[in-house]
Structure 1
Amino acid sequence: MRKQFTLILGGARSGKSSYAEAQAAALDGGVLYVATAEAWDEEMAARIAAHRSQRPATWRTLEAPRQIGAAIAAALTPDVACVVVDCITLLASNVLLSLPEKSDEATAANALLAEIDALLAAYAQSNATWFVVSNEVGLGIVPAYPLGRHYRDALGRANQRLAAAADRVVFMVAGLPMTIKS
């Protein structure tokens, strides 16, 4: 199978990660699982531990909350046939929370798009099939506070950039995949 880039979008608990993991498990070769979550509290630490325990022991995990492109590029080895990035949503949170408190929308968008460009550059240099997971956050209400609006807009732009570069885009609803680009 030639390498392919698949973006998997959907809402919270729509089945995005399970779908990405099932797709990766169906391929031959090593899997590099790129986790972007940071354990800011006990509940998040428990979620991370649960996710980690559910993955096959043969998969290699790379924790990359920021500077994801460089981290993946450094971790790619010839045995990596598949990369799963879970998820851009938390990467966006990490990037925006690392900015100065009064950053504007353009600063937020540019910081996240720089991460996305670095991720796409790592994909271009790899021979692996990639599954990238991200939430679609543009279907809800307009956030009531500036950071929420910056987050929604930056993630929306990041998802657009990823979708444009992707070979396939899958939208998950209630655990059901709908291919919207192939």
Structure 2
Amino acid sequence: MTARYVRKTRRTGVAVLLVVTLAFSTAACGGDDDGSGQDKGASSPTTPRDSGKAKSKSGETAPEADTVLANVKGDSGVEMVITSAMRDSGGFLTVNGQFKNAGSGAYTTPIQWSGRETAVAANGRSLAAMTLVDSKAKKRYYVLRDTDNRPLTTSGYEPSIEAGATLTFFAQFPAPEASTHEVGVQFPGFPNATIEISG
């Protein structure tokens, strides 16, 4: 065996050892690209925006309880709680809230909630009777309808609200002028309420 052959064999061995060492170093340090150190398969903690919301009995996400714009009591212990009135860039205003049955028995939702229009009432239970009033501009806004006269509001709900239960609702209207920041809400069986528009 020559000296040149021995030197060549040693260089090859060193090169192989270097490659193996680099491979182990990469596996140990390079498995977490985002630097968070958290296993991607592990569950992430609850974010603050989810902590203020609760699930209703129907499984829907209820609006945050600390954003109440109006709370009015109606017939038989039922309350209408309005939690938001958002104006969007498309020219619409969407009102969100809940009906809460604080009474001891089931509350039968009145047929008057669906409004007086025969074509709208033919589509079943809805909140088409809800209106918004801009007293300064002397304008009244009705729930929007689609081409089949279906109101753009919560519809098809159960005919009664059980004791202690809630019915989450929305209703969409044409947006008042940008200078209007407050409107009155009128709905059968409840006193008038004034709410503030956001957006």
TM range (shorter): under 0.3
Question: Greater strand share, 1 or 2?
Answer: 2
Q: Select the structure with the greater relative contact order (CA < 8 A; seq sep ≥ 6).
A: 1
Larger Rg: 2
TM-score between the two structures when normalised by the length of structure 2: 0.22
Question: Greater helix share, 1 or 2?
Answer: 1
